[in-house]
């Protein structure tokens, strides 16, 4: 297993695919990096020489990846909050920031909620009888 940018890449993966496992590197950037270094994209990670790994790691210095990328994103969001923009306020309130509807949906952003008011008749009778027993 090769370790590139703090990520363990399996030996049997194609290099083009393996690089996409690093945050901030997608398919197009992976292809671009390998083309600029003249490395075969269909080569397996286990077949890489240490010089090729060093070239790839040095090329990553030109792009924000992993922790640096996450820090930039976090900084951008905090800047939006500080200037009081609409998008910043949506981030602060935990709501979607890109115009999606919130009357229904938006569960991922707003968090999981319990269902209210959807009882079958048997369940309703059971809960009412339990409440009555607790009151006595």
Torsion of CA 10, 15, 16, 18, to 10 degrees: 20
pLDDT band at 96 (very low <50, low <70, confident <90, very high): very high
Alpha-carbon distance of 7 to 22, in angstroms, equals 7
Q: Which CATH class is domain 2-63?
A: mainly alpha
One-character DSSP codes across 89-133? HHHHHT--SSS---SS--HHHH------S---HHHHHHHHHHHHH
Q: What is the pTM of this model?
A: 0.68
Give me the chain's average pLDDT, please. 89
pLDDT band at 40 (very low <50, low <70, confident <90, very high): very high
Domain range summary for the chain, segments of one domain joined by +: 2-63
């Amino acid at each position: 297993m090769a370790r590139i940018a703090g990520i363990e890449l399996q030996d049997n993966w194609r290099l083009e695919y393996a690089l996409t496992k690093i945050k901030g590197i997608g398919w197009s950037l992976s292809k671009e990096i390998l083309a600029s270094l003249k490395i075969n994209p269909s080569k397996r990670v286990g077949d890489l020489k240490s010089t090729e790994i060093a070239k790839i790691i040095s090329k990553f210095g030109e792009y924000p990846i992993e922790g640096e990328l996450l820090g930039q994103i976090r900084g951008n969001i905090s800047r939006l909050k500080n200037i009081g923009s609409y998008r910043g306020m949506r981030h602060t309130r935990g709501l979607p920031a890109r115009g999606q509807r919130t009357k229904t949906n938006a569960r991922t952003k707003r968090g999981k909620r319990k269902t209210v008011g959807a009882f079958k008749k048997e369940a309703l009778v059971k809960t009412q009888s339990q409440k009555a027993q607790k009151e006595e």
